[in-house]
């Protein structure tokens, strides 16, 4: 049967073709294991796979109009099982989930279960899962989603049809982002900072880039101010952080500031790249970066990048992050 698949997915062409063919040819495996870093769209693909499998339309999959499609969107479709928020994935819940899956009777002609975050299940849950995979209930397909398979038992992996997901190519990211209202510079910056993972891009765009802009302006201010103002800004920043997160331990405050160190690294590298005439990451701030690059030498920037990396490593060791930031800022100037 030739269906018209309507999945709003960019990239992953081979995986989509494979999955859609298994539906067209009615050749479903008992178990699939989708794996690859978070933010690639594995969940969305599993969702559209399920919807297409159950959709009652003769041509378009999914049609979004039939009874099954509507029930799935409302999360009330009885043959579609899901589990996997991190609290849910203990051995007892998994056993219960698998028992329900085996015992329940089928309403449509197939049952489908999705287990999210499979990489976090412990050995007891894995054993329960293995039992089900070894003797799968009739007409039932299980999709396991995992960000990584290194910690999954080989016995589980070997029972599944594996589908590896990788970062999207630049052209797929561009095509996808053209659905959003962005300036060319915003689009470029998002592509550069999301590494082919739409999930990361969505997180950046979540608040119309407000958080990213705020953080970027803060880093720019630090980089362009003199030592005295720099120290003042850091003092103020940590006073606010301590007030906002009163119970936080030293290393927890450190983790809060790590994203700023990451962004600082992007800025420092861009400054160096401007000097070397190479394409930069943060296109949104190109003008300011070009201006700022005049006040740093290439050697200085290289040195700064190195000391920043040392400081990043030290954050793990319960050293006051404020002290580390002050050291960084002193060495920057
Ligand atoms: Zn439908």
> What's the rounded Cα separation, in Å, for the pair 70 and 79?
14
pLDDT digits (tens, 9 = 90+) for 195-209: 999 999 999 999 999
pLDDT in tens, 245-291: 988 888 888 888 888 999 999 999 999 999 999 999 999 999 999 99
The Cα-based distances of 28 to 15, 71, 83, 133, 300 in angstroms read 14, 22, 20, 14, 59
Task: Note the pLDDT of residue 103.
Answer: 84
Which comes out higher in pLDDT, residue 152 or 331? 152
Tell me the CA–centroid distance for residue 161 and ligand 1, in Å. 26
Please determine, for residue 228, whether its predicted confidence score (pLDDT) is greater than 90: no
Domain ranges of the chain: 4-166, 207-332
In whole angstroms, what is the distance from residue 48 CA to residue 62 CA? 7
Rounded to whole angstroms, the Cα distance separating 71 from 64 reads 10
Q: How far apart are CA 195 and CA 215, in angstroms?
A: 19
CA of 49 to the centre of ligand 1 (A): 12
Residue range 108-112: mean pLDDT, rounded: 88
Does the pLDDT value for residue 81 go beyond 70?
yes
pLDDT at 217: 94
Residue 1 confidence (pLDDT): 67
Q: What spacing in Å lies between the alpha carbon of 99 and ligand 1's midpoint?
A: 28
| Residue 73 CA to ligand 1 centre (angstroms) | 10
Looking at beta carbons, which pairs linking 156-159 to residues 24 or more positions away fall under 8 Å?
A: 156/33, 156/118, 156/126, 156/129, 156/130, 157/33, 159/30, 159/31, 159/130, 159/133, 159/134
At 227 the pLDDT is: 82
pLDDT at position 317, please? 79
Q: Could you tell me the distance, in angstroms and rounded to a whole number, from the CA of residue 252 to the centre of ligand 1?
A: 47
Contact 264, 315 (CB under 8 A): no
Q: Is the pLDDT of residue 86 over 80?
A: no
Range name among 16-25, 157-166, 177-186, 232-241 with the lowest pLDDT average: 232-241
Q: How far is ligand 1, taken at its centre, from the CA of residue 98, in Å?
A: 27
In this structure, is the dihedral angle defined by the CA atoms of residues 207, 210, 216 and 218, taken in order, positive or negative? negative
What spacing in Å lies between the alpha carbon of 24 and ligand 1's midpoint?
15
pLDDT surpasses 80 at 316: no
- What CATH superfamily is the domain 4-166? P-loop containing nucleotide triphosphate hydrolases (3.40.50.300)
Task: Give distance in angstroms: CA of 60 to centre of ligand 1.
Answer: 7
Report CA(70)–ligand 1 centroid distance (Å). Answer: 7
Partnered with residue 163 across adjacent β-strands are: 34
Closest to 298 (Cα-Cα) out of 314, 278, 328:
278
The pLDDT tens digits for 286-306 are 999 999 999 999 999 999 999
* Alpha carbon of 127 to ligand 1 centroid (Å): 36
pLDDT, tens only, 30-67: 999 999 999 999 999 999 999 999 999 999 999 999 99
Mean pLDDT of the chain: 92
Counting residues of the chain whose pLDDT is more than 70, the rounded percentage is 99
Q: What is the mean pLDDT of residues 224-230?
A: 85
pLDDT for 230 equals: 85
111: three-class secondary structure by DSSP: strand
Indicate whether 74 pLDDT > 90.
yes
Q: How far is the CA of 41 from the centre of ligand 1 (A)?
A: 21
- State the virtual CA torsion across 11, 13, 18, 20 in degrees, nearest 10: 80
Q: For residue 79, report the distance from its CA to the centre of ligand 1, in Å.
A: 15
% of the chain beyond a pLDDT of 90: 69
pLDDT, position 183 = 96
């Amino acid at each position: 049967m030739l269906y018209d698949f309507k999945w709003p997915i960019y990239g992953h062409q081979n995986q989509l073709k494979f999955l859609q063919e298994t539906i067209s040819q009615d050749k479903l495996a008992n178990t699939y294991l989708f794996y690859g870093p978070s933010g690639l769209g594995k969940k969305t693909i599993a969702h559209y796979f399920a919807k297409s499998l159950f959709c009652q339309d003769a041509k378009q999959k999914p049609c979004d109009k039939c009874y099954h499609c509507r029930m799935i969107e409302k999360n009330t479709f009885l043959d579609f099982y899901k589990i996997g928020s991190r609290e849910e994935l203990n051995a007892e819940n998994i056993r219960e989930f698998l028992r329900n899956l085996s015992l329940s009777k089928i309403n449509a002609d197939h049952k489908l279960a999705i287990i999210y975050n499979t990489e976090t299940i412990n050995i007891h849950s894995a054993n329960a899962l293995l039992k089900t995979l070894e003797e799968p209930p009739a007409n039932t397909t299980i999709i396991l989603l995992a960000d990584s398979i290194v910690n999954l038992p080989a016995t589980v992996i070997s029972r599944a049809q594996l589908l590896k997901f990788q970062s999207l190519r630049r052209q797929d990211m561009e095509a996808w982002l053209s659905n959003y209202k962005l300036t060319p510079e915003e689009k470029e910056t998002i592509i550069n900072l999301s590494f082919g993972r739409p999930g990361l891009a969505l997180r950046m765009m979540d608040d119309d880039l407000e958080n990213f802009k705020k953080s970027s302006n803060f880093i720019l201010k630090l980089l362009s101010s003199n030592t005295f103002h720099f120290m003042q800004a850091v003092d103020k920043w940590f006073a606010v952080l301590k007030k906002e997160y009163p119970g936080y331990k030293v290393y927890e405050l450190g983790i809060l500031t790590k994203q700023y160190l990451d962004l600082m690294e992007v800025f420092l590298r861009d400054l160096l790249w401007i000097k070397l005439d190479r394409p930069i990451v943060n296109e949104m701030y190109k003008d300011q970066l070009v201006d700022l690059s005049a006040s740093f030498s290439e050697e200085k920037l290289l040195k700064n990048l190195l000391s920043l990396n040392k400081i990043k490593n030290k954050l793990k060791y319960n050293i006051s992050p404020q002290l580390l930031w002050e050291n960084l800022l002193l060495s920057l100037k």
